[in-house]
């Protein structure tokens, strides 16, 4: 019973906030007093079936929406099972960890470049920005006619609509995580 009261408390607060309702507004819509709603949200009251019915009717949600346990949603992306989306044998590998999809306005890549090798990136929309974290090695980044050096553990951000390439002049493999978005501007 305690878990049910916890589910109701969490869900009532989430639903009310999602609908941009104050406790006062929710009380008017449901016919349940503001103090009772507050007690339910804090897990201090066990509402009767009649009160729950008023809440679901007033907030226009299903009974399941109010009592169901909210499961954490997520998934693992296993690097060991990924295949490169771009590759030049013995030179570089590009892994697409999170490609553009409906509802996602960014891409996430991991790029590995072997010692002495270079990878020339495709040009992106002129609204795109690229954010790089160097996780191993040292990056020599060429953007049009300028060269930038980014060390392991450092970050770099730039307009991805410009011609650019990544070079590994070091002796160890260069590895970096690249986040690309079309919607945010610097």
**20, containing H or E segment:** none
The answer to whether the CB of 141 falls within 8 A of the CB of 166 is: yes
Report the 10 Å Cβ neighbour count for 10. 14
Residue 143: per-residue pLDDT: 95
Is the entire prediction scored with pTM above 0.95? no
Cα distances (angstroms) measured from residue 132 to each of 51, 161, 168, 175: 53, 15, 14, 10
Could you list the pLDDT tens digit for every one of the 186 residues in the chain?
578 888 999 999 999 988 889 999 999 999 999 999 999 999 899 899 999 999 999 999 999 989 988 777 777 888 788 888 899 999 999 999 887 776 677 889 999 999 999 999 987 877 889 999 999 999 999 999 899 999 999 999 999 889 999 999 999 999 999 999 876 444
């Amino acid at each position: 019973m305690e878990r049910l009261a916890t589910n109701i408390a969490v869900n009532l607060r989430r639903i009310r906030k999602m609908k941009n309702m104050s406790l006062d507004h929710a009380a008017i819509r449901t016919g349940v007093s503001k103090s009772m709603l507050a007690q339910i949200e804090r897990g201090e009251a066990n509402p009767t079936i009649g009160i729950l019915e008023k809440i679901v009717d007033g907030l226009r949600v299903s009974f399941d929406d109010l009592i169901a346990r909210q499961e954490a949603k997520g998934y693992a992306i296993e690097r060991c099972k990924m295949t490169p989306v771009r590759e030049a044998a013995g030179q570089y590998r590009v892994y697409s960890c999170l490609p553009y999809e409906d509802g996602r306005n960014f891409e996430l890549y991991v790029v590995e470049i072997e010692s002495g090798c270079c990878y020339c990136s495709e040009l992106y929309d002129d609204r795109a920005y690229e954010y790089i974290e160097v996780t191993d090695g040292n990056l020599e980044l060429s953007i049009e006619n300028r060269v930038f050096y980014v060390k392991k553990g450092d970050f770099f951000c730039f307009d991805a609509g410009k011609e650019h390439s990544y070079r590994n002049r070091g002796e160890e493999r260069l590895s970096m995580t690249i986040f690309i978005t079309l919607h945010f501007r610097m």
